[in-house]
Structure 1
Amino acid sequence: MPHLPWPSVGDRLCVEGQFCTIRFVGEIPQWKSEKAYGLEWDNITRGKHSGVVGGVRYFETKFRTSGSIVKESKVIEAIHRRCTFIDSLSNVYLSKAGKHRDVYFGSKRVEMTGLDVLDLRNGDVSSLKCINLSYRNIAAMGDLSKLRLLAPTLKSLKQLNLSHNLLTDISQVISLIGGIKSLRSLDISGNKFTEFKIGEGDRVWSVTELSANCCELSAENIEKLCYVFPALQTLQLDGNGRSASIVLSQNLLPDLSELSLANNYLEEFPQHCEKSAVTSLNLSYNPISRISLKRATKIRTLAMSNCELNTWSSIDAICITFPELTNLKINDNPINTKGSSDDAYLQTIGRIRKLLYLDGTFIAEKEKQDAEIYLMTLVSKSQAPINELGEQWRYLTNKHGKISRKPSSNIMGSGLATLNLSIYFEGRKIREIEVLPCYSVRYLKSIISKLVTLSIFDFELSRISSDGVEHEFNFEFSPISTFSVKNNDVISVLRTGR
């Protein structure tokens, strides 16, 4: 196996499973007999300082606790594990590569350079459709001339995964994939590219899917990346910081349909997405609390899990901003934790008229109608806010009829029926409550749990029919209408003792 040059400042290592960048190589007074390495860890909790030891600054770090200085003996194993793409490909996919017979002229053995590449060219690489070399300590792609010989042999390759390696020079990656005409998907996530020298001819038109998560890419380098891959239809730029939104703000990729910008510290919704061709957008794990955007009529799928959406007006804004939205993920937002999960689920469905999937769950038409009626009932009782001059409310009243605010009635507007239920606990009636047939058993339990001051896991419910027969609720996430619950029925609460 050919040896890589000894690492220097700026190179990457993986030490005991943790990635880091070398920031200093030299001597320090504390270790006069051994070379010292200053490391900046990707995991900032692994470090101890910012590059200052004994009052002397040896290097700078981005975070004050992400730096360490270690002896060379602590990183020597990681240094020797570094390899090239060609080495890794041979070891993983062609275990017999390099085991060619020695060649002799008479009694003299002849050194045959380049036989490793010949093995690769003559091996069964032509049939490989997917190559996964993630977490393989690849620090360089290998000799350029060898890469040019190798690329045409990978004629069936469609997916290449180079994620979480030690690569720092993007031009080396391009030198390989530029010659693989069949390649469609490339993953370079987790590599920290500091060398971004791109020539005018460095364009790869075959790749349509690119994952470049957690690469610490600047806006300038993202722009260069888009130049290299102009035909991208799917792009992942999670964990790269606010600069990642440049893809939308400058419309760098006219054919882009799926974009992921999760965990990028975005506090506002990226501007100009209404001008792009993007139909699927992932903004999860960003501190976004409101939607301030013109209409984006092409968005069909939106992921905003673990954001800061905390008002129903922000959900209403999603409906207005994305009128063609059919798939939404908003789990683990503050708005989901204020009340019961069922309430948030039903209200969200009722507020977004074309929704087919919510947090991965398909919404049947009957469930959608029940959710809309549920929302209208809450509004009629002033228990849920909505803009009654807005589009969604007009849609709801046109579909289900206008509501009449009569708290004593069991009929809301045009056929919006509610049920009065008598709740019995430990042999006595404690309350009458008003519910909707679309309520799930779990949601009904969450209401009753407040009345009996028990966790929903500490009691069971049953329905007592008019003939005195007790009927159990077998499926907690099914609507109570599934169990033939009728107006004025009795619901019995049985403590389980758990």
Structure 2
Amino acid sequence: MSDTLTADVIGRRVEVNGEHATVRFAGVVPPVAGPWLGVEWDNPERGKHDGSHEGTVYFKCRHPTGGSFIRPNKVNFGTDFLTAIKNRYVLEDGPEEDRKEQIVTIGNKPVETIGFDSIMKQQSQLSKLQEVSLRNCAVSCAGEKGGVAEACPNIRKVDLSKNLLSSWDEVIHIADQLRHLEVLNVRCCGVSRGAQAWRNSTLSLTTFSFPKVVVFQ
């Protein structure tokens, strides 16, 4: 991430050197120049303080050593669901495959394409997926609307445990695109636990069309 901060980073789940945390503060921390993120670690032993610095409280932690200040460019805000699937399940073609040319017809005009077979192969691999494990893959959001439904229409089971999902809204954005979903694991993601958390989502749960989905949290 760049050193430019915006207010919407507050509450985001992040990863730093393999450790997970939640952003509680974004701004300057005098007398040191430049922007900082104040994070509360999932593992309080990873931190150094309670969100205070030289007598000023910048954010609050549940544990007296649960907080740290970190430069924004040291923080991983994660990736979207579909990108994570491609990174894990799509087999890379070799250089010769990537350079292969093919003639396709657009209208009445033949056009040379490079890598067409590779794209078709990737789409085929994704469409066959039924069980997906993305545990600890830094998934933070659904990504482009409709992208998951188009690329992975047959997924039935998803393990999203230990990822960077900040809210049930993002979980629902993902699940609502998986029309055959049966099991969803979101353990250790940092989203609020229990049925009340679903009801508190800013999305209407009537749009979540899978009342029989088993959710592990």
TM-score bin (small chain) = 0.7 to 0.9
Runs of 5+ unmatched residues, structure 2: 103-112, 193-199
Please say if residues 61 and 67 of structure 1, whose CA atoms lie closer than 8 Å, have aligned partners that are also in contact.
yes
Give 1:175 deviation, angstroms: 2.9
Q: Is the 8 A contact 1:9 1:23 kept in 2?
A: yes
- Per the TM alignment, residue 88 of structure 1 is displaced from its structure 2 partner at its CA by 0.8
Counterparts of 1:359-438 in structure 2, within 5 Å, are: none
Q: How far apart are the structure 1 equivalents of 2:16 and 2:121?
A: 30
SS at 1:147 equivalent: helix
Alignment match, 2:164 = 166
Question: 2:6 aligned with 1:17, yes or no?
Answer: no
The answer to whether the aligner puts 1:68 opposite 2:73 as a matched pair is no
Measure how far apart 1:11 and its partner are.
0.9
Within 5 Å, give how 1:464-483 maps onto structure 2.
none
Mark the CA change 1:120 to 1:90 in structure 2 (over 3 Å): closer, same or farther: farther
> What SS class does the counterpart of residue 174 from structure 2 fall into?
helix
1:187 and 1:29, CA in 2 relative to 1: closer, same or farther beyond 3 A?
Answer: same
Residues 40 and 47, structure 1, Cα contact 8 Å, conserved in 2:
yes
Provide TM-score, normalisation by structure 2: 0.73
Total equivalences in the alignment: 188
When residues 172 and 119 of structure 1 are mapped into structure 2, their CA distance, relative to the original with a 3 A threshold, is farther
1:88 and 2:89 are equivalent in the alignment: no
How big is each residue's C-alpha offset from its partner over 1:234-273, in whole Å with a ceiling of 9 and x where there is no partner? xxxxxxxxxxxxxxxxxxxxxxxxxxxxxxxxxxxxxxxx
Higher-RCO chain (CA-CA 8 Å, sequence separation at least 6): 2
> Residues of 1 paired with 2:43 and 2:11: CA distance?
17
| Counterpart for residue 203 of structure 1 | 209
Deviation per CA, 1:402-443, whole angstroms, max 9, x where unpaired? xxxxxxxxxxxxxxxxxxxxxxxxxxxxxxxxxxxxxxxxxx
Q: 1:136 to 1:119 in 2, by over 3 A?
A: farther
Matches within 5 A, 1:253-272: none
Please tell me whether the aligned partners of residues 20 and 41 of structure 2 are also in contact (alpha carbons under 8 angstroms): yes
Quote the offset at 1:61 in angstroms.
Answer: 1.5
Taking the aligned partners of 1:187 and 1:68, their CA distance within structure 2 comes to 29
Seq. identity, %:
23
CA separation of 1:71 and 1:182: change in aligned 2, threshold 3 A? closer
Q: Secondary structure at the match of 1:36?
A: strand
* Gap change, CA 1:127 and 1:148, over 3 Å in 2: closer
CA separation of 1:17/1:40 partners in 2, compared to 1, >3 Å: closer, same or farther?
same
Report the Cα offset of residue 53 of structure 1: 0.5
Q: CA deviation at 1:119?
A: 5.5
Q: What is the TM-score of this pair, normalised by structure 1?
A: 0.34
Q: CA 1:128–1:206 in 2, change beyond 3 Å: closer, same or farther? A: farther
Question: Structure 1: which 5+ runs fail to align?
Answer: 104-109, 213-498
Residue 154 of structure 1 corresponds to which residue in structure 2? 153
2:45 touches 2:66 (CA, 8 Å); kept in 1? yes
**Shift of the alpha carbon at 1:64?**
2.2
Give distance in 2, aligned partners of 1:201 and 1:70.
Answer: 38
Retained in 1: the 8 A contact 2:160–2:185?
yes
1:197 match: secondary structure: coil
Instruction: Please state how far the C-alpha of 1:198 moved relative to its aligned partner.
Output: 3.0
Higher strand share: 2
Aligned letter for 2:215? Answer: L
Offset of residue 186 of structure 1: 0.9
CA distance in 2, matches of 1:146, 1:134: 20
Residue 175 of structure 1 pairs with residue 180 of structure 2: no
Distance in 2 of aligned mates of 1:179 and 1:71: 35
* CA RMSD after TM alignment: 3.2
| Cα contact 1:84–1:141 (8 A) shared by 2 | yes
Secondary structure at the counterpart of residue 207 of structure 2: coil
Measured after TM superposition, the shift of residue 120 of structure 1 is 8.3
Deviation at 1:135, TM superposition (A): 0.4
